Amino acid sequence: MSTKVEHREFQAETRQLLDLMIHSIYSNKDTFLRELVSNASDALDKLKLEAFRDKDLDVDTSDLHIELDTDADARTLTVRDNGIGMTRDEVVDLIGTLAKSGTAQLRGALSAAQNAESAAAAEELIGQFGIGFYSSFMVADTVTLLTRKAGEKTATRWESSGEDTYTIEEVDDAPQGTSVTLHLKPNDEDDHVRDYTSEWTLEDIVKKYSDFIAWPIRMQVERTTTVGEGEDAKDETTVEVKTLNSMKALWTRPRDEVSDDEYHEFYKHVAHAWDEPLEIIPMKAEGTFEYQALLFLPSVAPFDLFMRDAKVGVQLYVRRVFIMDDCEELIPPYLRFVKGVVDAQDLSLNVSREILQQDRQIRAIRRRLTKKVLATIKDLRTEQPEKYRTLWTQFGRALKEGLLSDTDNRDLILSISAFESTATDRGDDADESARWTSLAEYVERMKPGQDVVYYMTGESRQQIENSPHMEAFAAKGLEVLLLTDPVDEMWVDAVPEFEGKRLQSIAKGEFDLDDSEDEDSEAKRDEREKQFADLLAWLGDALGDHVRDVKISSRLTTSPAVLVGDAFSMSPTLERLYRASGQPVPVTKRTLELNPDHELVKALESAHSASTDDAELRDTAELLYGMALIAEGGELDDPAAFTRKLAQQLTRSLG
């Protein structure tokens, strides 16, 4: 007796994803089993914990296991667990939709992958998003899921052929837990798809991908033996239950006894990831706080790394018992890309989030893990630069958040950070190795007499390189760090120095790049200040709404003017970031610096000394200010007024 079958549509992104799966340009189809086993294992972990916490929950946890069941004639494979199960709503949420944020990113990535129609593009997509349950459709043309949540009476049956729709219905009697039945695609010799009803194939795949799973993965196998002799001999078939995996928790085994492949598969299980880890970090602490940890640095950033609800943290186990996913108390947010497990000896299985937040032991573990991860990255930098560059390109932006939030480790983070600079190559050509510099390398290249590290923040490398601020630095061959990540705007204000060298924005504060010992140039500057004094005073007044002050500049070689903030003012990029996030931004006026050698400035000076104040001259002043804004990539307050004035001036110059 079952209620009516409901037909539902997959959401558009899910459909596209399924389409990719069904036409399976993904090369390694065996991985579907890893995903189903991984889900079953998670479900068993959850049930064990739930049963421990909720003594009233009426479930039998005496024989938690995973079962593989095949039918060669019907060509089906069933993966069954007696774990936590799902309610109807959970099935709809978890299985029927891609209930993950970032659908916009996924949509973009999907259409790119589909257009490319290449295995590489699909692989990259899958590496970033993970596919999980849907990977079944690589090998099945229909998938049936039957599940009953622990403690509930009714079960849910879900079925789909991976096209536009799925069906869902209530079912009265089903064992507690979940079974996923794959109706396998026809065997196609050319497709190199293996026979997933074969005992040997399944055993091989489980050994390869899921050996460490902590629950037994069982299969019934038929064994035919010959009994009797001669005339009386006959074949007897018995059914045996065989456990396919060794079930050893990987983090408890010494590193040299575990192969890299085993570690990699374990990583995919704990991280729900499809990429290969870049680095494996086993840890063991004895003494007051005893724990073992197995951490991984991934090689591909997940699509949601910079989204508000990005997952932070590693799995927490207590004496081999799974306690929680994403334990944020164990890893600081800026290391949210680190995945893995921590298995603590001395915590209670009842430990709650609230307790974890107060716990001294947890805080100590977090400090140790943080240090260990940073030290590992430091080693990568010197010993495996290519891996380090991958890490930096994928996760550098997140790591730099630590410069703000983790003051204890700030120097260490600074020392393992990489930056673009005027002395490094642009990232767009093939050689990534020349794109980055460390601060130590910058310091080595500093000019004699240079005692600060120059940097400029902005939206892109090109914008900064072409900004007027850069002119004198380029002319004098002074290296400038080019900081273009939004997070750069934040940490530069919090980090005063690196190894005693102050960090100094070239867009802020006063600069004197002339050699100050040179008395001639000093005299020349005084003379100029006098020559331009009237103009500067008048401009200061005429542009009083926009700028604090007008001065002669030593930063410029080719541009007529530049806007300079004081040491504590916000950079224009930071102002834009604040505005974009809807936060009020205090109006900060900056100083307008003029290039006394520029023809326009000279002409303005003579025009001004000839006729003290007129409308035309005021327009020119406004234009000069507008040009300085545009040159640094800023936005005009009133673009229409600017273009009107510009049109008038151009007309005059032509007429």
In the region spanning residues 99 to 118, those forming contacts with Mg ion, defined by CB under 5 A, are none
Select from 133, 306, 511, 578 the one that contacts ligand ADP (CB under 6 A): 133
C-alpha to C-alpha distance for 380 and 549, rounded to whole angstroms: 49
Pick one of ligand ADP, Mg ion, none as the site partner of residue 130 (Cβ within 5 to 8 A by kind). Answer: ligand ADP
Q: Per CB under 6 A, does 593 bind ligand ADP?
A: no
Q: How far is the CB of 322 from Mg ion (least distance, A)?
A: 14
C-alpha to C-alpha distance for 227 and 34, rounded to whole angstroms: 38
Pick one of ligand ADP, Mg ion, none as the site partner of residue 302 (Cβ within 5 to 8 A by kind). Answer: none
Give the number of other CB atoms < 10 A from CB of residue 554: 17
Find the part of the chain contacting Mg ion (CB under 5 A) among 128-136, 161-169, 489-497, 546-554: 128-136
Q: Per CB under 5 A, does 332 bind Mg ion?
A: no
Select from 25, 31, 64, 83 the one that contacts ligand ADP (CB under 6 A): 83
Q: Measured from the CB atom, is 132 or 468 closer to Mg ion?
A: 132
Pick one of Mg ion, ligand ADP, none as the site partner of residue 458 (Cβ within 5 to 8 A by kind). Answer: none
Pick one of ligand ADP, Mg ion, none as the site partner of residue 95 (Cβ within 5 to 8 A by kind). Answer: ligand ADP
> According to DSSP H, which parts of 384-518 are helical?
385-399, 402-405, 410-415, 439-445, 461-465, 471-475, 486-494
Buried b (16+ CB within 10 A) or exposed e, 490-502: bbbbebeebeebe
Q: Per CB under 6 A, does 376 bind ligand ADP?
A: no
CA distances from 56 to 52, 63, 81 (A): 10, 18, 21
Select from 16, 17, 25, 35 the one that contacts ligand ADP (CB under 6 A): 35
Select from 102, 127, 130, 468 the one that contacts ligand ADP (CB under 6 A): 130
CA neighbor of 28 nearest in space, from 264, 243, 302, 250:
264
How many residues contact ligand ADP, by CB under 6 A? 16
Q: Measured from the CB atom, is 114 or 144 closer to Mg ion?
A: 144
Name the closest residue to ligand ADP (Cβ): 132
C-alpha to C-alpha distance for 630 and 563, rounded to whole angstroms: 10
Find the part of the chain contacting ligand ADP (CB under 6 A) among 127-135, 184-192, 253-261, 354-362: 127-135
Q: Measured from the CB atom, is 177 or 560 closer to ligand ADP?
A: 177
Q: Measured from the CB atom, is 269 or 608 closer to ligand ADP?
A: 269
Q: Measured from the CB atom, is 269 or 645 closer to ligand ADP?
A: 269
- Is 36 in contact with 79 (CB distance < 8 Å)? yes
Give the number of other CB atoms < 10 A from CB of residue 30: 18
Q: Measured from the CB atom, is 39 or 70 closer to ligand ADP?
A: 39
Pick one of ligand ADP, Mg ion, none as the site partner of residue 40 (Cβ within 5 to 8 A by kind). Answer: ligand ADP
C-alpha to C-alpha distance for 71 and 253, rounded to whole angstroms: 36
Q: Measured from the CB atom, is 272 or 618 closer to ligand ADP?
A: 272
What is the DSSP code (8-state) at residue 130? Answer: -
In the region spanning residues 544 to 603, those forming contacts with Mg ion, defined by CB under 5 A, are none
Q: Measured from the CB atom, is 132 or 313 closer to Mg ion?
A: 132
Q: How far is the CB of 177 from ligand ADP (least distance, A)?
A: 7
Tokens of 413: 């983070």
CA neighbor of 605 nearest in space, from 655, 537, 513:
537
Q: Per CB under 5 A, does 132 bind Mg ion?
A: yes
Q: Per CB under 5 A, does 39 bind Mg ion?
A: yes
C-alpha to C-alpha distance for 539 and 404, rounded to whole angstroms: 39
Return the HEC string of 258-287: CCHHHHHHHHHHHHCCCCCCCEEEEEEECC
CA neighbor of 311 nearest in space, from 293, 328, 294:
328
Q: Per CB under 6 A, does 95 bind ligand ADP?
A: yes
Sheet bearing 234-243, strands edge to edge: 6-9, 165-171, 155-160, 140-148, 177-184, 76-81, 66-71, 217-227, 234-243
Find the part of the chain contacting ligand ADP (CB under 6 A) among 54-62, 81-89, 383-391, 544-552: 81-89
C-alpha to C-alpha distance for 25 and 260, rounded to whole angstroms: 26
Find the part of the chain contacting Mg ion (CB under 5 A) among 38-46, 304-312, 337-345, 485-493: 38-46
Q: Measured from the CB atom, is 132 or 626 closer to Mg ion?
A: 132
Distance, first Cα to last Cα, the chain: 92
Residue 549 three-state SS? strand
Find the part of the chain contacting ligand ADP (CB under 6 A) among 111-119, 129-137, 407-415, 618-626: 129-137
Give the containing element (helix H, strand E) for 576.
Answer: helix 572-580
Find the part of the chain contacting ligand ADP (CB under 6 A) among 78-86, 393-401, 540-548, 617-625: 78-86
Q: What are phi and psi of 369, to 5 degrees?
A: -65, -45
Q: How far is the CB of 40 from ligand ADP (least distance, A)?
A: 5
Phi-psi category of residue 416: left, alpha or beta, with phi > 0 → left and psi -120 to 50 → alpha: alpha
Q: How far is the CB of 194 from ligand ADP (least distance, A)?
A: 21
CA neighbor of 625 nearest in space, from 597, 654, 600, 653:
600
Q: How far is the CB of 162 from ligand ADP (least distance, A)?
A: 14
What is the DSSP code (8-state) at residue 571? Answer: P
Residue 598 three-state SS? coil
Select from 18, 21, 37, 86 the one that contacts ligand ADP (CB under 6 A): 86
Find the part of the chain contacting Mg ion (CB under 5 A) among 7-15, 129-137, 411-419, 546-554: 129-137
Residue 187 CA from chain centroid, whole number: 39
Q: How far is the CB of 216 from ligand ADP (least distance, A)?
A: 15
Select from 207, 242, 272, 410 the one that contacts ligand ADP (CB under 6 A): 272
Angle, in degrees to the nearest 10, between helices 12-22 and 103-116:
30
Give the containing element (helix H, strand E) for 251.
Answer: none
How many residues contact Mg ion, by CB under 5 A? 2
x/- string (CB under 6 A) for ligand ADP, residues 162-201?
----------------x-----------------------
Q: Measured from the CB atom, is 39 or 197 closer to Mg ion?
A: 39
Select from 17, 18, 40, 330 the one that contacts ligand ADP (CB under 6 A): 40
Q: Per CB under 6 A, does 456 bind ligand ADP?
A: no
C-alpha to C-alpha distance for 470 and 513, rounded to whole angstroms: 12
Q: Residue numbers of the site for Mg ion (CB under 5 A)? A: 39, 132
Q: Residue numbers of the site for ligand ADP (CB under 6 A)? A: 35, 39-40, 43, 81, 83-86, 94-95, 130, 132-133, 178, 272
